[in-house]
Structure 1
Amino acid sequence: MINTYQTSLAPPPVPPRLSGSHPILIPAPLPLRGHSKSLIRFLVGVVLLHLFLSIGGFIYLYHNYKMLSFQLPSGKEGEEKLAYLSSEKQETSYKAMARMVVEQRPHTPDQKSKSGYLNWNINHSFRRSIGYYHSSWLTIQQPGDYYVYSRVTFSKGDPQLPLVSKVQLRKKNEGEDKAVMQAYCNLDSGSIAEFIPRLCTATQGEVITLEKGNQLSVWVQNLSLVNYEDGATTFGMYKL
């Protein structure tokens, strides 16, 4: 008898079972709804802040422009005034001035009781738009009002003559000069000990109207009595 239930086909394979060695994929959690709302609120706040700052800057610039337009006349006169303000601002940064340092020189016997003008060390001094003549004189190149100052320190006294310093003015080279400023100081001759240094300073400052070509210098009664240390004796001016 023939067995009709036998067949040559093999049974289907059994699917593999998952073991502990194989990783199990877990889906990532969705972003929290509250976190997304906070991010959106932050971005909206940044955009609004930028908008408010832009509007505020525009209002500030517009207000300044209206104020300037109100103060300045219109038309050609306003343009001329704007040009004048611009040139005046530029001129302020280039105003004439000088700050002179006295030249240090040894005391020689022929300088005793000799009056004359102080010499300035041009290498350590500063000048802008002011000329320099024969070591002692400063020449004005820009006419106008100047604040002129002088500080002369004396290290010795004179028993017969006062300690005086004068700012001399002359209109041109080798012309006649006159004192426009002067100052005095006094050294007490009754010092307790002779080895203790005695100093006094004659300081002066005044506004003087100067013309182009005017020259200024500092004159003292006795050059040998002046203190020539750094910063003790100076002279200068600046245009107002």
Structure 2
Amino acid sequence: MINTFHTSYNPPPVPPRAGYTRPPLPSNTPLVKFLSVMLLLLMMLTFGGFLYLFQKLNVATSTSPQQAAARIAEASHYKRPAAHMYRLKERVPKDGRFPNQQLVWDEEHSLLNAVRSTGDTLIIPHPGLYFIYSHVTFSRSSSSSLKQGIWSKLPNKDNDDVEILKSYCSLNPSKEDLCTASLSGVIRLQEGQQLYVKVTNTSLLNKNSCSFGLFKIQE
């Protein structure tokens, strides 16, 4: 007899053979653990950031104007010493105070930040490592070398002044021209040490192109 019975159900699975072991399913447990730890750290950092901002906001709102001004004044006391000086363009009276080889600076239009100036000299307020520089432009030639130098005078007046940096340039005496002598260096300076710039002769300079400066880079 022909079997005409039909069904839509799948046949039952074949029973496993004796001694057969199903291979283990792939596991991503280490990856899940890593992602869980990273998510926890991210939540902690986010919560910590919100807590920090909340505390800062409370401090800012509870600070009186007098306290804020006191904090600003305290912070300004620790300004990093710096100076950028421009040459004084007006004629300086020949009273013997400023030799004709020493440059005089325009304090009104120069930058002085926690550094004192005496007109021709910068006085170091705090000891440390400083970057110092100077640029002078000569517009007239001379029979001697066109030279500039930064000189130093220590707080002890018994010591002679010392030239710590120097540079030269040259001009053709047969034609009008300009030459700039530039120098820079990193030097450790003492408190109260004085610095000034000397040239061959100030009458040979272009008054509009002379500068001198320094700034502290390290204690």
The answer, yes or no, to whether TM exceeds 0.5 is yes
CA contact (8 A) 2:140 2:173 kept: no
Q: Which amino acid aligns with 1:237?
A: L
Does residue 216 of structure 2 align to residue 239 of structure 1? yes
Q: Who is 2:80 aligned against?
A: 95
Runs of 4+ with deviation above 4 angstroms: 54-57, 59-64, 106-109
CA distance in 1, matches of 2:109, 2:91: 18
Does residue 140 of structure 2 align to residue 156 of structure 1? yes
Q: Cα–Cα, structure 1 residues 55 and 145, in superposed 2: closer, same or farther, change >3 Å?
A: same
Structure 1: segments with no counterpart, 5+ residues: 1-53, 65-89, 192-196
Equivalent pairs, count:
150
CA distance in 1, matches of 2:93, 2:204: 12
Identity within the alignment, %: 28
CA contact (8 A) 2:151 2:163 kept: yes
CA distance in 2, matches of 1:108, 1:143: 33
Please list, as runs of the form range in 1=range in 2, the aligned pairs for 1:83-232 lying within 5 A after superposition. 94-106=79-91, 115-133=100-118, 135-158=119-142, 160-172=143-155, 176-191=160-175, 197-229=176-208, 232=209
CA contact (8 A) 1:105 1:228 kept: no
CA distance in 2, matches of 1:63, 1:166: 56
CA drift of 1:203 comes to: 0.3
CA contact (8 A) 1:129 1:142 kept: no
Q: Cα–Cα, structure 1 residues 156 and 239, in superposed 2: closer, same or farther, change >3 Å?
A: same
CA distance in 2, matches of 1:107, 1:125: 17
Q: TM-score, normalised by structure 1?
A: 0.55
Q: Who is 2:54 aligned against?
A: none
Q: Which amino acid aligns with 1:129?
A: A
Q: Cα–Cα, structure 1 residues 131 and 163, in superposed 2: closer, same or farther, change >3 Å?
A: same
CA drift of 1:108 comes to: 9.6
CA distance in 2, matches of 1:143, 1:167: 18
Q: Cα–Cα, structure 1 residues 221 and 115, in superposed 2: closer, same or farther, change >3 Å?
A: farther
CA distance in 1, matches of 2:149, 2:193: 16
Q: Who is 1:10 aligned against?
A: none
CA distance in 1, matches of 2:92, 2:83: 27
Q: TM-score, normalised by structure 2?
A: 0.60
Q: Cα–Cα, structure 1 residues 139 and 60, in superposed 2: closer, same or farther, change >3 Å?
A: same
CA drift of 1:58 comes to: 3.7
Question: Secondary structure at the residue paired with 1:218?
Answer: strand
Q: Cα–Cα, structure 1 residues 179 and 56, in superposed 2: closer, same or farther, change >3 Å?
A: same
**Based on CA coordinates, which of the two structures has the bigger radius of gyration?**
1
Q: Who is 2:14 aligned against?
A: none
Q: Cα–Cα, structure 1 residues 222 and 174, in superposed 2: closer, same or farther, change >3 Å?
A: farther
Q: Which amino acid aligns with 1:185?
A: C
Structure 2: segments with no counterpart, 5+ residues: 1-38, 50-74
CA contact (8 A) 1:169 1:216 kept: yes
Question: Secondary structure at the residue paired with 2:203?
Answer: helix
